[in-house]
Structure 1
Amino acid sequence: MTDIIANTPLPEKSAPETQDFATAGIAPMDRPSAITRFFMGIVAWAEGLNFKYAKLGNPPVYDNNVFPWAKEVEKAWPEIRAELDRVLVRQSELPSFQEISTDVQTISKDNRWKTFFLVGFGVKSEQNIQACPETWKAVQKIPGLKTAMFSIFEPGKHLPAHRGPYNGVLRLHLGMIVPEPADKLAIRVKDQICHWQEGKALIFDDAYEHEAWNHTDKTRVVLFIDFVKPLRFPARLINWALLNLAIFTPFIREGLDNHKEWEKKFYAQAEALRNRG
């Protein structure tokens, strides 16, 4: 494991890794669409295949060495951080995650989790990419890139235990701004407590139950990446199809539309300020 991971001790004889395909205490949002219900039924079946045919196994947290490109992304940290600093000048105007993806309301209702998307579910935010060209260049090194954004946890934010909607992707966090003290800032993935470090990558499977918290008095930021999980055939083919079809589901279309509306207002305000100057 990388040096950013502190493992919670396990019993001497532990059971094989399994994934629970639900999170206790958190009900999914009601989606009455027949298309969505059908799609989610297929997803449940595909998750079993993904678990069975995973090329690298199914650990909650991965050793970065199995992804050689991770070091290349880490090398770009200074340039990414410089672009992030420019984004944070307008931090108060950035959208809360649930303003973009309303399903996030099941785990986050306040305004202390801000986002700045470069790409979501494979759909680019062209203006945000223009604002962060070096960040975009760096994330192109990630095979199977699906989502890239800055994830901004403001002071006091605690994201409760939950699991991701689908185990066909893995997640990378590149520590951008990591305030002290370390014991008040962490993410738990299954039974491992992980601490971010600036310029270091943390790669984990968000299909395991996880929670994150920032109990410091400063803002924490990571570059948040979802990329396609390495799978063997036939799961690889089915996963490719599902990830490409997902964009047509109502909750993802809604999220993309919400982001377009925010983006339009955000850059219109910037243009108005420039013209006034």
Structure 2
Amino acid sequence: MASVPHDTAPQQETAKASRQTFGTAGITPMSRPSLTTRLFMAIVAWAERLNLAYSKVGNPPVYDNATFPWVAEIEREWPLIRAELDRILLRQSELPSFQDISTDVKTISTDQRWKTFFLIGFGVKSEQNIRQCPETWRIVQKIPGLKTAMFSIFEPGKHLPAHRGPYNGVLRLHLGLVVPEPRDKLAIRVDRQICHWQEGKALVFDDAYEHEAWNHTDKTRVVLFVDFVKPLRFPARLVNWLLMNLAIFTPFIREGLDNHKEWEKRFYAEAEALRNRPRH
């Protein structure tokens, strides 16, 4: 078992007891009120109901890892990912906060304690970052329907409030890479299940359920954060494919990609300047 949820009921029973919400009443919203976004999200709300009805893997908040045979392959190679992460963390202070890339995240995070290092976001690659992590990139390409892969860095004291993801056509994987003690001060709640990360172990969940996460230790926590396409039957599979390919044209995703490109330029320009600095 990749995580240790407090609720150990079977996956099917958990799914029946849990419910995805299609609005954001009572929890933090993840969308902005522009006309384009409202229109797109109206279509998304219809597609989400379709996805629930035509899922090939059920709709529990947290999945048994055995549902996805490729998860074991990712876990086996985790030391290679950790080694590349350690090199990235040498410049941890220069990594962008999530809301600096995706400004919509400001609805749930406004401090500088959630940092990121993207390899691919919304299906668009960061070629320069991939060159820094070739083994990680090779490994994540084993994941069917890969859409996003990044290092998600929770610095000490970080707490993400309750929220839900923008769309249930993807599922999320967290692979524990740096998980400090004490364990009871570091966790993620998905619906009613409290899960604890473990180094080298994966946690697969549906972020369309209300969830929150916290690091109340005095050390940094890092996971490999992956979004992949949820396995669906026709016609939901087709609708999902269309939405995934249209999403890249929405304003908030275009803005996020532009922000990441600007950060990349600064980050790698500074690295080049350091390499070329005269030595005395």
Specify the alignment match of 2:32 in structure 1.
30
Q: Residue 190 of structure 1 contacts residue 209 of structure 1 at CA under 8 Å; is this kept in 2?
A: yes
Query: Aligned partner of 2:150: which letter?
Result: M
Deviation at 1:40?
1.1
Q: Secondary structure at the match of 2:248?
A: helix
Specify the alignment match of 2:7 in structure 1.
8
Q: Residue 113 of structure 1 contacts residue 157 of structure 1 at CA under 8 Å; is this kept in 2?
A: yes
Specify the alignment match of 2:70 in structure 1.
69
Aligned ranges 1:106-255 → 2 under 5 Å? 106-255=107-256
User: How large is the RMSD of aligned CA atoms in angstroms?
Assistant: 1.4
Aligned ranges 1:52-91 → 2 under 5 Å? 52-91=53-92
Residues in 1 aligned to 2:268 and 2:126: alpha-carbon distance in whole angstroms? 12
Q: Residue 184 of structure 1 contacts residue 214 of structure 1 at CA under 8 Å; is this kept in 2?
A: yes
Residues in 1 aligned to 2:66 and 2:181: alpha-carbon distance in whole angstroms? 27
Q: Secondary structure at the match of 2:5?
A: strand
Residues in 2 aligned to 1:236 and 1:17: alpha-carbon distance in whole angstroms? 23
Aligned ranges 1:252-267 → 2 under 5 Å? 252-267=253-268
Q: 1:3 to 1:151 in 2, by over 3 A?
A: closer
Query: Aligned partner of 2:6: which letter?
Result: N
Q: Residue 35 of structure 1 contacts residue 249 of structure 1 at CA under 8 Å; is this kept in 2?
A: yes
Q: Secondary structure at the match of 1:174?
A: strand
Residues in 2 aligned to 1:3 and 1:147: alpha-carbon distance in whole angstroms? 20
Q: Residue 143 of structure 1 contacts residue 228 of structure 1 at CA under 8 Å; is this kept in 2?
A: yes
Query: Aligned partner of 1:6: which letter?
Result: P
Deviations, residues 107-129 of structure 1 (Å, cap 9, x unaligned): 00000000000000000000000
Q: Residue 157 of structure 1 contacts residue 214 of structure 1 at CA under 8 Å; is this kept in 2?
A: yes
Deviation at 1:29?
4.5
Where structure 1 has 5 or more consecutive residues not aligned to the other structure, the ranges are none
Aligned residues: 273
Deviations, residues 158-186 of structure 1 (Å, cap 9, x unaligned): 00000000000000000000000100000
Residues in 2 aligned to 1:216 and 1:137: alpha-carbon distance in whole angstroms? 32
Q: Residue 22 of structure 1 contacts residue 163 of structure 1 at CA under 8 Å; is this kept in 2?
A: no
Query: Aligned partner of 2:4: which letter?
Result: I
Specify the alignment match of 1:50 in structure 2.
51
The TM-score normalised by the length of structure 2 is 0.94
Deviation at 1:268?
0.3
Deviations, residues 46-68 of structure 1 (Å, cap 9, x unaligned): 00000111111000000001101
Deviation at 1:28?
4.6
Deviation at 1:39?
1.1
Query: Aligned partner of 1:266: which letter?
Result: F
Q: Secondary structure at the match of 1:171?
A: strand
Q: Secondary structure at the match of 2:166?
A: coil
Residues in 2 aligned to 1:166 and 1:212: alpha-carbon distance in whole angstroms? 19
Q: Residue 74 of structure 1 contacts residue 201 of structure 1 at CA under 8 Å; is this kept in 2?
A: yes
Q: 1:67 to 1:29 in 2, by over 3 A?
A: closer
Specify the alignment match of 1:96 in structure 2.
97
Deviation at 1:3?
4.9
Q: Secondary structure at the match of 1:88?
A: helix
Q: Residue 60 of structure 1 contacts residue 205 of structure 1 at CA under 8 Å; is this kept in 2?
A: yes
Q: Secondary structure at the match of 1:165?
A: coil
Query: Aligned partner of 1:26: which letter?
Result: T
Deviations, residues 185-219 of structure 1 (Å, cap 9, x unaligned): 00000000000000000000000000000000000
Residues in 2 aligned to 1:154 and 1:108: alpha-carbon distance in whole angstroms? 13
Deviations, residues 222-244 of structure 1 (Å, cap 9, x unaligned): 00000000001100000010011
Deviation at 1:5?
1.9
The TM-score normalised by the length of structure 1 is 0.95
